[in-house]
Structure 1
């Protein structure tokens, strides 16, 4: 397959790169992280003006209907800029809304115009990476449902205008069946959000739902049949996380290379030492292998073959996760102690790479998922 970006994707990447250099440089990002909300309304408006919010939205709802490969180009650049805005959370939410696009057309149009931000409240304290492990309940009540439970580590949960929430309408807590999805206003009565900063500068929240009432129209898909939707959208999010990580690794490699050219020891740049050159070559190989797997995952997330999609996405999460650890650790070692200080951009790259897989599954989780696909040979 062709791993080169198209002309349109390259143009979009270049435009986004220039915007980041002008409006979202390292110092601007540090100021945003230290702010009370942890995100920037001006940056969100800038992303919307560039058309990024409309990119994944269907054309029928005023979007562009972008492919996975288009989103790869965007996420790679956002990774290089270490964006802390709720972009990934919102575009993941768009994928859920697209399952019932006509019903939720108004919200999709608001997202496309940059007027709404979404967070996906799926994880619970006991569930770890298993999104089917849902203890939160949604009890039928007249023309709606009453939701009770708690969601944890909801990325940008406190910055969202709308939440997409999984809750159990039937079955036992670890059943794949009986899970339903609802979309609701984030400030609905009965919702309380506890906001905090994560180690990589992002924001997350623990959210309590106490007798939160929603209408039947809030359902995404059919009641009790949400697991296939969650499975598909989780893979979509994984593919985008891989693309973001590739962008971060590329920036980490370039920053480290520049440092080796300027840091001097024994009257010469330390980059002249052959042992360090070998380590930089190994970093380069890690980045390129991760890029290839991430691009493959982005191309396959729209596949009708669920087994192929799961296998490819988990394969990408494994390879990118391994590369993220290697590249991040090498960068810090090659910089020395100064690489751990907040004044150095490489420290922020390292923190984000360290968090890779924290939400949608680490390397061990995806190895287990990959090896349990039907096409994987099982031992006798």
Structure 2
């Protein structure tokens, strides 16, 4: 199997790596996180100008036709830089949902806006009782004239406060946990009856809770086939989980390299602490855990590229490995850095927080272990 990047992929990797190294250090990241909305609008526009927002979309939809490899390249680099801009929520999640389910008119209007940086969307598919089951939907969509009326609650909507449109899952038929009967609707953020409660997350990102109280949308707001949204949602979730794992793998690489460099400069008993064998063993373990997760990531990416039936199983194996080994690697870094490793002044503590959040998105390690065994 050939793991070499193509010329176009190499150019993409060089571009994003150079940006993160030169223009997105940890201090810059902290400034962006503290801004209104939790990210820098100018940096988001730079992403658009560099062509990064169009990477995963097909040429017919205005993109470059990038696939899982291109997404992996970008997300690994974003992980190293702890990027807070809403790339996952807008491009890889909401954008993917529109690309998979939208009509030609919807794709032309929405994806064009995502690609040029003028539009930001968020998927609102999780509910307080649903955990990771995207078919567990109690939000109701009832017919009202030529459109629909939506009522319910949505949780953990990534970058919800800065989205101009939400993609809301709502039930048009069946009981709360039926796989059939769930639809997707495009809901403008300024809709009457929609309440958005913004809050910071553990990792310096932002999320929101949505309350929909008889929110009216036209019939044209329906995204995809009525009552058949679960398959789309699960496909988007698996691809997003793979992307987040690539982000975590990038963080794991950064963690072991920064830890090794730190131990070369930190002295105790008159010598660098890197000479102590116990610490060497722990750093080798960090390197090994990164390589194991990187290998699983490559397997998952290649299975997606090839359209293999075991892609979902590979996603679960990867997500579980990142949940266990990613967290372990971050814990080791914090322990070696000492107490200051837990402060926001040091990036290692924020890597740990971000990995912990990734472990709760689109299925925890325990969830994916059970799913792996069932597939």
TM-score (norm 1): 0.95
1:19-98 equivalent positions in 2, closer than 5 A: 19-91=19-91, 92-98=93-99
- CA–CA distance in structure 1, aligned partners of residues 246 and 170 of structure 2: 29
- CA–CA distance in structure 2, aligned partners of residues 316 and 28 of structure 1: 30
Q: Structure 1, residues 164-196: CA drift from partner, whole Å, max 9, x if none?
A: 110000000011111001122222222111101
- CA–CA distance in structure 1, aligned partners of residues 64 and 306 of structure 2: 19
Secondary structure at 2:358 match in 1: coil
Partner residue in 1 for 2:254: 251
5+ residue gaps, structure 2:
none
1:272-287 equivalent positions in 2, closer than 5 A: 272-287=275-290
- CA–CA distance in structure 2, aligned partners of residues 4 and 246 of structure 1: 18
Distance apart, 1:353 and its partner CA: 1.3
- CA–CA distance in structure 2, aligned partners of residues 4 and 158 of structure 1: 40
5+ residue gaps, structure 1:
374-380
Secondary structure at 1:355 match in 2: helix
TM-score (norm 2): 0.96
Asked if the contact 1:101–1:108 (Cα under 8 Å) also holds between the matched residues in 2, the reply is no
Distance apart, 1:56 and its partner CA: 1.4
Partner residue in 1 for 2:348: 346
Asked if the contact 1:190–1:210 (Cα under 8 Å) also holds between the matched residues in 2, the reply is yes
Asked if the contact 2:103–2:224 (Cα under 8 Å) also holds between the matched residues in 1, the reply is no
Distance apart, 1:331 and its partner CA: 0.5
Q: Is 2:13 the counterpart of 1:10?
A: no
Structure with the higher helix share, 1 or 2: 2
Partner residue in 2 for 1:366: 368
Partner residue in 1 for 2:198: 195
Q: Which runs of 4+ in 1 moved over 4 A?
A: 302-305
- CA–CA distance in structure 2, aligned partners of residues 93 and 295 of structure 1: 24
Distance apart, 1:97 and its partner CA: 0.7
Distance apart, 1:301 and its partner CA: 3.3
Closer, same or farther in 2 for the Cα pair 1:304/1:221, shift >3 Å? Answer: farther
Distance apart, 1:273 and its partner CA: 1.1
- CA–CA distance in structure 2, aligned partners of residues 302 and 109 of structure 1: 24
Secondary structure at 1:229 match in 2: helix
Q: Is 2:335 the counterpart of 1:333?
A: yes
What is the RMSD computed on CA atoms of the aligned residues? 1.4
Q: Structure 1, residues 26-72: CA drift from partner, whole Å, max 9, x if none?
A: 11111122223211101101111111111112212221121111110
Q: Which moved more, 1:242-251 or 1:295-304?
A: 295-304
- CA–CA distance in structure 2, aligned partners of residues 110 and 155 of structure 1: 19
Q: Structure 1, residues 218-267: CA drift from partner, whole Å, max 9, x if none?
A: 22211101111111111010110111101111111111111011000111
Distance apart, 1:101 and its partner CA: 4.8
- CA–CA distance in structure 2, aligned partners of residues 17 and 77 of structure 1: 6
Closer, same or farther in 2 for the Cα pair 1:265/1:116, shift >3 Å? Answer: same
- CA–CA distance in structure 2, aligned partners of residues 86 and 349 of structure 1: 17
Q: Is 2:127 the counterpart of 1:124?
A: yes
Q: Structure 1, residues 294-323: CA drift from partner, whole Å, max 9, x if none?
A: 122223335655x51211111111112211
Distance apart, 1:359 and its partner CA: 1.9
- CA–CA distance in structure 1, aligned partners of residues 63 and 189 of structure 2: 23
Secondary structure at 2:53 match in 1: coil
- CA–CA distance in structure 2, aligned partners of residues 4 and 82 of structure 1: 26
